[in-house]
Chain A
Amino acid sequence: ENKETNKRMKESIPPNTLKKITFPTSRERHDPDMASAVAAIRTLLEFLKRDKGETILGLRESLMSATDCLTGVDSSVAVSSGGELFLRFISLTSLEHQDLSRCKKVMEERGELFLEKISMSRTKVAKLCHTFIKDGAKILTHSYSRVVLRVLEKAAAEKKRFSVYVTESQPDAAGQHMAEALRKLNVPVTVVLDAAVGYVLEKVDLVIVGAEGVVESGGIINKIGTYQMALCSKAHNKPFYVVAESFKFVRLYPLNQQDVPEKFKYKADTLKTAKNLSEEHPIIDYTPPSLITLLFTDLGVLTPSAVSDELIKLYL
């Protein structure tokens, strides 16, 4: 499914009348493991390389319209945060060099470097997090997260014995996919109903989830069902850990579930075709920072209050 989405993202950017831009078959089609934000940034970098504009302002505008096209295909928070990060990257770089062609050259170099660094971020996160998984631990996780999978892979590689409970995570049964992947690693895994989270928590030692976006307050936006899991963990006094790469930090500050913008709550197709959005099921929810114990990112192990510091350093 990811291959398809990435392919559609690349092809969705219409050929501009001012610039002849054609997109070749890219390596993204063959890499379902890539985070959606990384794919978005890669696409935007390609777009940048082919851009034939004359001014930085024009470049920014065309990049913004490109990002809009991308979010039109995949409306997740991650793509939006990847796009914003890239725009920020452009602004910061353009401040240093006045001459456009030099500026573009520097941008391309740094862009490649940036992509290289963030492709290492999952490994860094796994390195930080696996020490928190002790021998004999029972872990609960939610839906399918590639970062959580990487963390568990690393823990299994360190010869730790642990077992995993995964929620089925309807409506797309992504949890089954996660269970498959874990069975391949020879980790004992049990798929539980989404409704069985409270039931299973007394057996569990810790909860680890991924995140689609990390918001300014230190809370997270993730597949629907995460908030419930966090509330139950708090009630049972179990640590609730979030693993996320730093490019998922997003400039949002929701105070409750209603505050999360509609464009993130539903799939892109639903947004376009649904007549009445209030009858659709949202696919994400917001988990407030008070329920999160620690966040593991490639910038280090952060408490939720440290997240806003990081965002301030970047955006202000």
Chain B
Amino acid sequence: MPGPYKETDLTERVEAFLSDLKRGGTGAGPLRGSAETARETTALLRKITAQARWGSAGDLMEIIRKEGRRMTAAQPSETTVGNMIRRVLKIIREEYARSRGSSEEADQESLHKLLTSGGLSEENFRQHFPPLKANVIEAINELLTELEGTTDNIAMQALEHIHSNEVIMTIGRSRTVEAFLKDAARKRKFHVIVAECAPFCQGHEMATNLSKAGIETTVITDAAIFAVMSRVNKVIIGTQTVLANGGLRAINGTHTLALAAKHHSTPLIVCAPMFKLSPQVRDYSKVRILSKVNVHCPVFDYVPPELITLFISNIGGHAPSYIYRLMSELYHPEDHEL
């Protein structure tokens, strides 16, 4: 019978994904970029939608939430997993609303809604619609296409922001920033300074890749950031997560970089695709790696929104004060807590 076979296959896939996530965090497994994680999560959610047994939208959302909680528990610092789950939940809500014929705006909280709603609308997603499965899978496919194009979409905007003979500073290694700079290098000549970002020193790899593309690159230590900042025209960085208040959770050393840039009034541009946007507001968990010398070495920094000039994402450039708006378009408020 195809039913049970599909289910065991599915649970195997989920378990494999979870163990991959756990290993990726300890640094023992292959280091994956967040775009890859996002794609794999979405593909897995599509598989769950296609193969798991569910009757109504409510059941599907419960299943996804349950799996989602397990996935986020496996690797709490990898927020892209949670973000993709929330995107898929929003997709399900939208498709359900569309099948019912009601508008999607109807269930967003607002003052307007408080005044005009007729009854206590407890939406429990229990109605069954046969085409819902196909619609949801199609929408998830669209999401996957969007994910595949994000780095290219961001890199396409490079020429508007980087001018000839500029000195750009960056920190650590970000695949998005790498693509961004390489795209600009096709038409313009500029100089890049990379802060090495101890202790993993991923800046070295970044510098090697950039110089292979023909960009003049200099590597500096993290301590030299402030000293060199007066010669820099722009700072372009990637990030691990974009928080709901417009702040960042980025590799350690980024806050220092941001403060130095603010002091010199240098614009700080963050290249971050939309799947990194997370509904958390303030950074609570500081992930620690404990070395043999028992030193607390935080992996991530919190950068407040006041230090950031511009966010470049796959849908264009935005100010930090606009991030809340993008959040409300990507995720439903009830899914903030999985």
Chain B neighbourhood of A92, CB < 8 A? 112, 115-116
Which residue of chain B lies nearest to A298 when distances are taken between CB atoms in the complex? B109
| Contact among A110, A249, A300 with B109 in the assembled complex (CB-CB below 8 Å) | A300
Chain B neighbourhood of A310, CB < 8 A? 110-111
| Contact among B110, B119, B282 with A313 in the assembled complex (CB-CB below 8 Å) | B110
Q: Contact string, A160-178, partner B, CB cutoff 8 A, digits 1/0?
A: 0000000000000000000
Question: Are B111 and A314 in contact (CB-based, < 8 A)?
Answer: yes
Q: Is B25 an interface residue (CB 8 A)?
A: no
Q: Contact string, B86-117, partner A, CB cutoff 8 A, digits 1/0?
A: 00000000000000000000000111101111
A299 to B111, CA, bound (A): 8
A298 to B109, CA, bound (A): 9
| Contact among B116, B119, B281, B322 with A93 in the assembled complex (CB-CB below 8 Å) | B116
A235 to B26, CA, bound (A): 40
Chain A neighbourhood of B112, CB < 8 A? 92, 313-314
Q: Which of A9-17, A43-51, A112-120, A278-286 contacts B (4 or more CB under 8 A)?
A: A112-120
Q: Is B245 an interface residue (CB 8 A)?
A: yes
| Contact among B114, B118, B244, B325 with A309 in the assembled complex (CB-CB below 8 Å) | B325
Question: Are B111 and A311 in contact (CB-based, < 8 A)?
Answer: yes
Q: Is A305 an interface residue (CB 8 A)?
A: yes
A306-B282 contact, Cβ under 8 Å, with A113-B120, A313-B110: no
Q: Which of A11-39 contact B (CB under 8 A)?
A: none
Chain B neighbourhood of A85, CB < 8 A? 111, 115
Question: Are A299 and B115 in contact (CB-based, < 8 A)?
Answer: no
Question: Are A313 and B111 in contact (CB-based, < 8 A)?
Answer: yes
A51 to B282, CA, bound (A): 49
Chain B neighbourhood of A293, CB < 8 A? 245
A138 to B153, CA, bound (A): 46
Most interface-central of B114, B245, B281 (chain A CB within 10 A): B114
A118 to B117, CA, bound (A): 13
| Contact among B110, B114, B244, B245 with A118 in the assembled complex (CB-CB below 8 Å) | B114
Question: Are B110 and A89 in contact (CB-based, < 8 A)?
Answer: no
A301-B281 contact, Cβ under 8 Å, with A93-B116, A110-B118, A306-B325: yes
Chain A neighbourhood of B321, CB < 8 A? 303, 305
Question: Are B245 and A294 in contact (CB-based, < 8 A)?
Answer: yes
Question: Are A249 and B115 in contact (CB-based, < 8 A)?
Answer: no
Q: Which of A40-89 contact B (CB under 8 A)?
A: 85, 88-89
Chain A neighbourhood of B245, CB < 8 A? 293-294, 303
Question: Are B114 and A246 in contact (CB-based, < 8 A)?
Answer: yes
Q: Is B333 an interface residue (CB 8 A)?
A: yes
In the assembled complex, how far is the CB of residue A122 from the closest CB belonging to chain B, in whole angstroms? Answer: 14
Q: Which of B117-171 contact A (CB under 8 A)?
A: 117-120
A294 to B245, CA, bound (A): 8
| Contact among A93, A106, A114, A299 with B110 in the assembled complex (CB-CB below 8 Å) | A299
Most interface-central of B112, B117, B321, B333 (chain A CB within 10 A): B112
Chain B neighbourhood of A93, CB < 8 A? 116
Q: Contact string, A89-126, partner B, CB cutoff 8 A, digits 1/0?
A: 10011000000000000100110011001100000000
A310 to B117, CA, bound (A): 16
In the assembled complex, how far is the CB of residue A6 from the closest CB belonging to chain B, in whole angstroms? Answer: 22
A144 to B72, CA, bound (A): 40
Question: Are A88 and B115 in contact (CB-based, < 8 A)?
Answer: yes
| Contact among A109, A117, A300, A311 with B333 in the assembled complex (CB-CB below 8 Å) | A300
Question: Are B324 and A114 in contact (CB-based, < 8 A)?
Answer: no
Most interface-central of A89, A311, A313 (chain B CB within 10 A): A313
Q: Which of B215-251 contact A (CB under 8 A)?
A: 244-246
| Contact among B117, B119, B282, B322 with A305 in the assembled complex (CB-CB below 8 Å) | B322
B contact residues vs A (CB 8 Å cutoff): 109-112, 114-120, 244-246, 281-282, 321-322, 324-325, 333
Q: Which 5 A-B pairs have the closest CB atoms?
A: A305-B321, A314-B111, A89-B115, A314-B112, A306-B324
30 contacts between A and B (CB under 8 A): A89-B116, A92-B112, A106-B118, A109-B118, A110-B115, A110-B116, A113-B120, A114-B114, A117-B114, A132-B282, A246-B111, A247-B111, A293-B245, A299-B109, A299-B110, A300-B109, A301-B281, A302-B324, A303-B245, A303-B246, A303-B321, A305-B324, A310-B110, A310-B111, A311-B111, A313-B110, A313-B111, A314-B110, A314-B112, A314-B115
Starting from the known contacts A110-B117, A117-B114, A299-B109, 6 additional A-B residue pairs (CB-CB under 8 Å) come to A89-B115, A106-B118, A303-B324, A306-B325, A313-B112, A314-B111
